[in-house]
Structure 1
Amino acid sequence: MMPERDNLIVQLTFDFALCIIQFTQQLEDKRRFVIANQLLKSGTAIGANVREAQSAESRADFTHKCKVAAKEAEETEYWLLLCHHSVGYGDTNELRAKLLSIRKVLSKIISSSRAV
C-alpha cells in the first residue's frame, strides 16, 4: 500500500526508505554488510516512526513518535557521512539532500506540535 499522497512527511520518508533500500543493496553487492545493515535499519525506521505517528493516541504521543523519527534521521545522516568519507562506498549526496529535506519538515512538525 502506498502512503497518502497528500501527507508530505509520509511521502518523503516512504520515498527515502525506497532509496535507502536500493543504496544498501549496492553496499551489500560490494560486501559492505555491516554499514549496509545499520543504514537500512535507521533509514527505513524514519518512515516507520512517521507512519506510526499518524495513528498517535494524543498530541504528546504524536510529538514523541516524530522525535524518534528525527533521531533515526540523525543516525542515518551519520551512516551516510561515513559512507561519503570512505573509499568505495558510493555517492551519498542525493540521499543526504533528501534526508535534509526530511529533517527540516520533521523539525517544523515537532516545533509546531509543541506550540499548540
Structure 2
Amino acid sequence: MSENKVYDLENRTEKFSLAVRNFCLKLKADLFNRVYIQQVLRSAGSVAANYIEANDNLGDKDLKHKIRICKKESKETKLWMKHLLIYDQIELENERQALIRESDELMRIFAAILRKLNS
C-alpha cells in the first residue's frame, strides 16, 4: 500500500521558525552572536509570516510578491545561520547544518512556486 504524503508548507515554515528560535536559545549570547541571533530570528520568522499572508489570496500579484519575500528571507536565514558562532560545539553544528539545509530546501520550494506562478 502506497503512502500519500501531505505537504503542509504553512506548518513547515512555522516549524522552521520555531526550530530556529529554539536553536538560538542554546547559543552563547555574546556581543557578536546577539546581532546574528536577531537577524536570523527576524528572517526565519518572516518566512513563516509571509507564507501565511500569501495564503490569504488577495490576488495573483500579492501572492507572487509574498512568495518572493519568502524565497528572499529563506536565503537570508541561510546566510545568518552561517554567521552564528557555535564555538566548536559539535551538537550545535549538526543542528545548524540541518537548519541551513531546511532554509535551502524552503528557498528552492519557493523558487519552484514562483516559476509555476510565472508560467
Range of TM-score over shorter length = 0.7 to 0.9
User: Aligned residue for 1:36?
Assistant: 37
Identity %: 23
Give ranges in structure 1 of 5+ residues lacking alignment: 1-5
Moved over 3 A (4+): none
Cα deviation digits, residues 47-84 of structure 1 (max 9, x gap): 1000000013111110100001111111111101223x
- Superposed CA RMSD in Å reads 1.7
Q: In terms of Rg, which structure is larger?
A: 2
Cα displacement (A) at 1:87: 5.2
TM-score (norm 2): 0.80
Contact 2:44 2:74 in 1 (8 A): yes
Structure 2 residue aligned with 1:71: 72
Match of 1:22 in 2: 22
Number of corresponding residues = 106
TM-score by length of 1: 0.82
AA aligned to 2:20 is I
SS, match of residue 56 in structure 1: coil
Question: Which AA in structure 2 matches 1:55?
Answer: D
Name the counterpart of 1:94. 98
* Alpha-carbon distance in structure 1 between the residues aligned to 2:25 and 2:86: 17
Give 1:114 deviation, angstroms. Answer: 1.0
Match of 1:114 in 2: 118
Residue ranges of structure 2 left out of the alignment (5+ in a row): 1-5
1:3 counterpart residue number: none
